[in-house]
Amino acid sequence: QVQLVESGGGSVQAGGTLRLSCTASSTYTYNSNAMAWFRQPPGQEREPVAGIYTSGGNTYYADSVKGRFTISQDNARNTVYLQMNSLKPEDSAMYYCAAVWGRIIRDLANEYDYNHWGQGTQVTVTS
């Protein structure tokens, strides 16, 4: 059983910063293989934002957030972070944490490869 709990969302003005956290608790005896952040703007489909392989540390970023967002992890705390700088109104969305246990995934951006999801945290960026 796995629970992913996101925190850190909120409302911020354009140009501001937020840091999202996702803490995983599970009955697995080993770490997840990868964790990621996805987002879903109102009326749109969910899209990948950033992902990280938890053992190797390789990362993925959507083109729209490269240079502004940073994904990182604290394996001791089973937590992944998303540092979001220079926020834009188009970054407004519900942000979801995702994780995968028990299988190797080749594409951090593919939401169908993840088998555990958090409930989401809202990010609103005002102009």
| Average pLDDT for runs of 10 along the chain of length 127 | 94 98 86 92 96 91 98 91 98 97 91 96 97
pLDDT confidence of residue 73: 94
pLDDT confidence of residue 83: 98
Following CA atoms 119, 4, 45, 105 in sequence, which dihedral angle do they give, to the nearest 10 degrees? -160
pLDDT confidence of residue 30: 76
State the pairing for strand pair 121-126/10-13: parallel
d(C-alpha 111, C-alpha 84), whole Å: 20
Backbone angles phi, psi at 91, to 5 degrees: -80, -10
pLDDT confidence of residue 104: 87
Burial class (CB in 10 A: 0-12, 13-18, 19+), 106: exposed
The DSSP symbol for 101 reads -
